[in-house]
């Protein structure tokens, strides 16, 4: 299983763009990259998923370079409500390629006014 490394914490201010990078040097060919957000006292919530290049949804963008050894979650114009822990997961898309979804330590993002 690919191991992920993220910064333990990050600080930002309201209105800024935040980029959180995740390293996954041992990513396998059939692995996808998924990001979750967790608020205090709640379970994690899916944000975005991708395999390569760039993926964008209404919440965030995910940038994945050609070698796929890292990925960057980009949050545009953060607000105080984006203060949370962000997890990067790397794992196979299909169950028959390996059934476990492993979370790392996550990045604690603190957005200040």
Judged by CB under 8 A, which of 18, 23, 92, 111 binds other proteins? 92
Residue 45 binds other proteins, judged by CB under 8 A: yes
Left if phi > 0, otherwise alpha if psi is -120 to 50, otherwise beta: which for 4?
beta
Question: Closest approach of Cβ 78 to other proteins, in Å?
Answer: 21
**Is 81 among the residues that bind other proteins (CB under 8 A)?**
no
What span, in angstroms and rounded, lies between the C-alpha atoms of 1 and 9?
A: 24
Please report whether residue 96 would count as binding other proteins according to CB under 8 A: yes
Non-local CB neighbours of 29 within 8 Å, separated by 6+ positions: none
42 binds other proteins (CB under 8 A): yes
Edge-to-edge strand list for the sheet holding 84-92: 9-13, 107-112, 84-92, 31-38, 45-50
Q: Is 63 in the site for other proteins (CB under 8 A)?
A: no
Please, are residues 22 and 15 in contact by the beta-carbon 8 Å criterion?
Answer: no
Member of 41, 66, 81, 113 binding other proteins (CB under 8 A): 41
Q: Considering only residues 46, 65, 79, 110, which one is a binding residue for other proteins as defined by CB under 8 A?
A: 46
Complex with other proteins: residue 13 or 46, whichever CB lies closer = 46
């Amino acid at each position: 299983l690919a191991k992920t490394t993220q910064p333990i914490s990050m600080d930002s201010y309201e209105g800024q763009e935040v980029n959180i990078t995740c390293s996954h040097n041992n990513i396998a060919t059939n692995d996808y990259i998924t990001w979750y957000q967790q608020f205090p006292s709640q379970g994690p919530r899916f944000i975005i998923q991708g395999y390569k290049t760039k993926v964008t949804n209404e919440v965030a963008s995910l940038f994945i370079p050609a070698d796929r050894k890292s990925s960057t979650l980009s949050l545009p114009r953060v607000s105080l409500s984006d203060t949370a822990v962000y997890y990067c997961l790397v794992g196979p898309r299909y169950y028959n390629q390996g059934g476990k979804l492993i979370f790392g330590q996550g990045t604690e993002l603190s957005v200040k006014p």
